[in-house]
Amino acid sequence: MKKFLLASLLLFLSLPLIAATEAPGTVVYTDEDYARLHAVIEHVENVLTYGRAYNTDSDLLPDAINTLTGEPAMWTFPNRAEVPYSDPANQQNFYRTLVALSVVTGDDRYKEEAVATLTEFMLNYQSPNGLFYWGGHRTVNLDTLEVQSTENENGPHELKNMLPYYDLMLEVNEAATIRFMRQLWTAHFRWGTSDLNRHGSYSTAYDVNVFGQTMIDDIIQMDEFGMPILPSDSPGDLPFVNAATDLAYAAFTLADYTGDPSPKAWAEYLMRQYHLASNPVTGMTVYQYKSTLVTKSAQECSDPAYTNSGCGDRVARQFRDFGAIAREPNVQWKNTQAIYVDNILMLLEAADKYGIDYYVDWARGYLEGYLDYAYIRVNGVNKIIPMFNDGTVTYGYVVPEVGYYGASNMRLDYVELPTTYLLPILRTILATPDPADQVKLWNYFREIVEAFGIGDVGPLGGTLPDLNLDTAIDDPFALMAMVELYDATGNVQYLDVARTIGNNIVNEKFHRGFFVDSEIMLYSRLDQPETLALLILDGVIRGIDVAAMPYYLADSGYIHGYLLSNDGVTEDRSYTQTYIYVKTIYDQE
């Protein structure tokens, strides 16, 4: 009897600990959980209903919906020409959302909607050379269903960290997808010189043997001090890492799908140039591994406001005071999302899915270097110190003249560290096999999470967190980070805080039947990550393996080109994110 009592006692005492490390799949799915799913379904249904209502001859969807009028977002050219645009490169998270919604509801209809859109797009909007009419400078006009350029009449092909949902595209149209992945390299990469241009031509002939080229030596060599020599001979090409990320991702996917190892070898070659160009002392990496050759006349380039890359390295032009380090590749205060978030998420995906294990070490090195030198907490807020990648700080510098990086008299200040950094840091930690190698990043992660108001994830391992279950944060990246920590540790505290964040997202961002950035924002973007994050949470609560859900990779879709400024009377050349998605309901005319 005494033994029985003792055993009962021990069993009951152990209940709280069991609950705290509850195995996935045993969590109760509550009405509050369903309320979040309900909001996502409502949003999806409204996007499908009103997005498709604009032109009933098409299954294409607009990139964003005006939540006051129900109409597609419009690209307005300087002469007032308005184009309701559909650019499937910018809708990847919506397709992932649709597939995820089918997974959690068990209803295939949502996935079929994604398939319908992609089927029409891939059948009708692929150039004869294999490139799709999508990306930064091409879109489909939903009024006419004709291809529209936002540059001159022959706008180039451009993908920057769009990381398409290739799994679904291959399922929908295998031949078109493979043709595209091959042509992406033919159109953007120069095999003889390793020059890479984020712009690709729709006139470049299709090359079925594109990856059969002879491999060349690394273009980045080291000087006698072991420092990388960055060439300045790129003939108008700008090898931005955000374009390379898409090339590499396509090649890795192609190699995995076809079993042909050559695309993978070229992807490794390409990403190695960025690695070699990184600063070996600080660990910080680069936005590009070359600068452009000067091809424009001295007269043209005498105007500092003329920022054409044919006038050479634009940082060297605008930041002469800093000497040789002042090169576009070395800047660590602009485009850092591309370098340290999107690129790293792709590297980690390649490591996980395609076996490029050493990418985890690269990712860890880049992030540790960047956080060691550039991360600072100011008044409890996560910030980044502007600097070059050798650690030369530019904080407080007042730019003497106008240029590519901004107006004259602009003072370089701290930049707020966005929540997007949570995922690459966490995923790098989780992919790092040796706990001793996890320590540094975990400590940064712990501090950054705490500064975002989520609480303390505790010591390395995350099994003893003290989280703020009443956190006010309403951010999808924080939500996905907490879900992934729950998935890794089984500690239910992470799930509880993820539920809080999910509730916050619904409360703060679900308005007028759509998810928007906040209540006053006018447009609901299809590429927003909130709905995918909420569905990943929903799936985890249901006990669905995270790996069975579509995976978040990027939120980078945009259109770039000539447009009418928001003053309505002058011309600019800018982005949807700068001009359109910043509009509020008070801007509706």
Is residue 30 near other proteins by the rule CB under 8 A? yes
What is the smallest separation between the CB atom of 11 and other proteins, expressed in angstroms?
9
Is residue 562 near other proteins by the rule CB under 8 A? yes
**Side-chain-facing half-sphere of 106: CA atoms under 13 Å:** 2
Pairing of strands 74-76, 82-86: antiparallel
Is residue 469 near other proteins by the rule CB under 8 A? no
CA distance 348 to 431: 8
Q: Cα–chain-centroid distance for residue 120?
A: 25
Scanning 17-25, 177-185, 247-255, 361-369 for contacts with other proteins by CB under 8 A, the matching segment is 17-25
| Number of residues this chain uses to bind other proteins (CB under 8 A) | 67
Contact residue for other proteins among 33, 63, 87, 527 (CB under 8 A)? 33
Q: Give whichever of 409 and 518 is closer to other proteins, judged by the CB atom.
A: 409
Is residue 78 near other proteins by the rule CB under 8 A? yes
Is residue 487 near other proteins by the rule CB under 8 A? no
Contact residue for other proteins among 24, 58, 71, 575 (CB under 8 A)? 71
Contacts 24+ apart (CB under 8 A), 403-406: 403/304, 403/305, 403/307, 403/314, 403/317, 403/318, 404/307, 404/314, 404/315, 404/317, 404/318, 405/314, 405/315, 405/318, 405/319, 405/331, 405/334
> Are the beta carbons of 505 and 531 closer than 8 angstroms?
no
Contact residue for other proteins among 56, 57, 153, 298 (CB under 8 A)? 153
Contact residue for other proteins among 191, 206, 257, 306 (CB under 8 A)? 306
Is residue 361 near other proteins by the rule CB under 8 A? no
Contact residue for other proteins among 1, 13, 436, 548 (CB under 8 A)? 13
What is the smallest separation between the CB atom of 370 and other proteins, expressed in angstroms?
29
Is residue 31 near other proteins by the rule CB under 8 A? yes
Q: Give whichever of 19 and 281 is closer to other proteins, judged by the CB atom.
A: 19
CA distance 368 to 524: 35
Contacts 24+ apart (CB under 8 A), 74-81: 74/580, 75/139, 75/148, 75/150, 75/559, 75/561, 75/563, 75/576, 75/580, 76/563, 76/564, 77/150, 77/562, 77/563, 77/564, 78/562, 78/563, 78/564, 78/570, 78/571, 79/564, 80/564
Q: Give whichever of 419 and 531 is closer to other proteins, judged by the CB atom.
A: 531
Scanning 23-31, 224-232, 246-254, 473-481 for contacts with other proteins by CB under 8 A, the matching segment is 23-31
CA distance 494 to 488: 10
Q: Where along the sequence are the contacts to other proteins (CB under 8 A)?
A: 5, 8-9, 12-13, 15-16, 19-20, 22, 27-34, 37-38, 41-42, 45-46, 50, 66, 68-71, 76-81, 104-105, 107, 148, 151-153, 305-306, 308, 402, 407-410, 492, 512-513, 542, 562, 564-565, 567-573, 588-589
